[in-house]
Structure 1
Amino acid sequence: MEKKTVLVTGTGGNVGQGVLRNIRSLGRDIRIVGTDVSGFTAGNHLCDATYAVPYSYDAAFIPAMAKIVRDEKVDLVIPTTDYEIYYLSRFKDQIDAVVVASDADTAQKYLDKYLTYQYHESLGIPFAKSWLPKDYDHSQTDIILKPREGRGSRGILINPANPTQFGDDCMIQPLHKGREITTAFYVKKDGSLHGLLTMERELSNGATSKSKVVREFDAALEPILSKMIAAGGLRGSLNLQSIVDANGTIIPFEVNCRISGTNSIRHNLGFQDVKYTLQEYLFDEQPDAVHTIDGIAIRLLYDVIYPNATNEQTLTNNQQGHIVY
């Protein structure tokens, strides 16, 4: 069988690096091309070739990606950031490869948490009550103010003194307290839910630092996911983030239309969404059945060292001598 080439974006981030490690772990004959806004990232040592590209909202991004796909004869593109999902989906007709992404209109709704709230409310799907600052009715004892777009914990304020003074680029939600859970789920090409895995997690700087598989909420989560999928436009691996309050009520507060940052953890606990993606979109195979196991994970730091290197611009792929320590 001819060697396949997969392009993975965002190799400087934890999502992209997890995807790279998962692809390498499969032992299939796959050549990996990586892209990032930086030419030198922690993911370079896992790639056969790498490229620096503009930010996804830059007009030069799609032409740059299209050229890389042509020059490298890429078969499949796996975007790993929310904005790249949207732009690559929107302009997929300009990319001469399969782009694994939800429909652009759906991805755009999920880029904006306030649009997500409106979308879910219109469909009768649970989501945290949300207001624009100018519309906030002061009905809550505790609130959280956050940017409508963005990721991690950037720009968040708890109980701001004058919440209605903020602009429409922000939104307000009740400050729900309880257990934070993250649910990865995979939507097959035929539009069916292939499986899910939910983990309770702790965050550090907006990213998962510890996680534990939990199953007690799956029966309540499946109808929520099924309604989301029935609305159309979702495909591949996605992520739903929720709070479970003291009464056991699940309150979703964010949806990511991409493979999430815990993909490397999930892979080892039986939910192998990167593998399912390659099986369906690269090899035209049915994805393996989901067989999850219990488990706990904690994240650590490690180093990629290039002995005797003096110029990082030359460190573009896995052929440069390096030590992982």
Structure 2
Amino acid sequence: MNKALNILVTGCGGDIGQSIGKILLKSTYTKNLFGIDISEKNAAQFIYPNFSVGLPFTHPEYLERLEAYIEKHEIDIIIPIAEPELRFFSNKNVLDTIGRAKMITASSLALEIGFDKFRTAEFLKSQNLPFPQTFLAKDIKTIETFPVILKSKTGSGSKDIHKINTMDEFLFYTRNDVESYVVQEFITDKSGEFTCGLYRSSKGEIRSQIFKRELTGGYSGYGEVIENEDITNLLEELAVKIDLVGSINVQLRITDNLPKVFEINPRFSSTVLYRHLFGFEDLIWSIQDRLGHELSDNRKNVTGRKFYKGFEEYIK
């Protein structure tokens, strides 16, 4: 029988944090579930039995207060969710423990490469892996072929992504802050867009799951589990070359029968709950591996199964 743990999820207010809370509430690893967010104006307070509002990571006392919280509540495992917070921990080289609590994140190289869209493309290029041509916006004088994709160099999600069709559009979107953007080759979604869960244990075991998805308001609103040998092989090669330990999300499209990775999110993604329901339990595996336990395996043949994004209302 697993020892039940006190688990803390920080940045729990978003869709990923809420999904992780739903998984952990049903896990035999969870004794007491704690969640911290910088705002109470989200539904996490209805999911996490021990919810509280905490300091933003930019606050000078953030780390000190977090360590005190961990000590007070005897936290065994801490799982940071928000990418800006993960950047903070990475920059501080705090990726193993905080106080008494073991930390669950992707490994350091995966974080460093995934945080920076330009570095992602340069890494893929250096490893002879398929990638979309990607340039720093500040280095561009003119664009010969349209459309192109303009995206935040360090952001996540689809909030700051633009399909650019003219030089005037490029100049408009970069007029105030060209330093923050990259320009990327446009890959048509004619063959679909794919979001992939990729997990590798500390012993080198690799597991992956591929969704062919459609976006709804910036989220994966609909998806189908597929099998694709080319994508699976690419994911396995990427996991080794990025020296992955933990779980990341890889997004790609196919052009000329070749899958090209256009983004690596070095964290649990918004499809973490869908994957879990289909037996791809990368959150649980991450906890097991961190504790030195053997990985469970509840995977089944779910090819062709579909997910649909729904919403739930809470009142008080």
- State the TM-score, normalizing by the size of structure 1: 0.84
Q: CA deviation at 1:304?
A: 1.7
CA contact (8 A) 1:134 1:164 kept: no
Between the two proteins, what is the percent identity of the paired residues? 22
Once the two structures are overlaid, the 10-residue window that deviates more, 14-23 or 87-96, is 87-96
Equivalent residues in 2 for 1:1-325, closer than 5 Å: 3-89=4-90, 90-92=93-95, 94-136=98-140, 138-159=143-164, 160-162=166-168, 163=170, 166=174, 167-178=178-189, 179-193=192-206, 195-215=207-227, 217=228, 219-245=229-255, 247-282=256-291, 284-288=293-297, 290-294=299-303, 295-306=305-316
CA contact (8 A) 2:214 2:220 kept: yes
Report 1 or 2 for greater relative contact order, CA contacts < 8 Å, sequence distance ≥ 6. Answer: 1
Q: CA deviation at 1:140?
A: 2.5
- Provide the C-alpha distance between the structure 2 equivalents of 1:30 and 1:257, rounded to a whole number of angstroms: 27
Q: CA deviation at 1:114?
A: 0.9
CA contact (8 A) 2:6 2:75 kept: yes
- Provide the C-alpha distance between the structure 2 equivalents of 1:191 and 1:74, rounded to a whole number of angstroms: 28
SS at match of 2:70: helix
Q: CA deviation at 1:97?
A: 1.2
Q: CA deviation at 1:212?
A: 1.0
- How many residue pairs get aligned? The number is 302
**Closer, same or farther: CA 301–7 of 1 in aligned 2, 3 Å:** same
Aligned AA (1:213) = V
CA contact (8 A) 1:152 1:205 kept: no
- Provide the C-alpha distance between the structure 1 equivalents of 2:41 and 2:72, rounded to a whole number of angstroms: 20
RMSD: 2.3
CA contact (8 A) 1:144 1:156 kept: yes
CA contact (8 A) 1:19 1:263 kept: yes
CA contact (8 A) 1:236 1:277 kept: yes
- Provide the C-alpha distance between the structure 2 equivalents of 1:66 and 1:283, rounded to a whole number of angstroms: 23
Once the two structures are overlaid, the 10-residue window that deviates more, 292-301 or 88-97, is 88-97
Q: CA deviation at 1:81?
A: 2.2
Q: CA deviation at 1:5?
A: 0.6
SS at match of 2:179: coil
- Provide the C-alpha distance between the structure 2 equivalents of 1:47 and 1:164, rounded to a whole number of angstroms: 44
- Provide the C-alpha distance between the structure 1 equivalents of 2:243 and 2:60, rounded to a whole number of angstroms: 25
CA contact (8 A) 2:130 2:260 kept: yes
- Provide the C-alpha distance between the structure 2 equivalents of 1:221 and 1:61, rounded to a whole number of angstroms: 40
Deviation by residue 1:84-118 (Cα, 9 ceiling, x = unmatched) = 33333422454421111123454132111111111
Aligned AA (2:199) = Y
Q: CA deviation at 1:13?
A: 0.9
Q: CA deviation at 1:172?
A: 0.5
Once the two structures are overlaid, the 10-residue window that deviates more, 73-82 or 134-143, is 134-143
Question: Where does structure 2 lack aligned partners over 5 or more consecutive residues?
Answer: none
- Provide the C-alpha distance between the structure 2 equivalents of 1:96 and 1:233, rounded to a whole number of angstroms: 26
Aligned AA (1:184) = G
Question: Where does structure 1 lack aligned partners over 5 or more consecutive residues?
Answer: 307-325
Deviation by residue 1:224-246 (Cα, 9 ceiling, x = unmatched) = 2233322344222111001123x
**Closer, same or farther: CA 299–38 of 1 in aligned 2, 3 Å:** same
SS at match of 1:67: helix
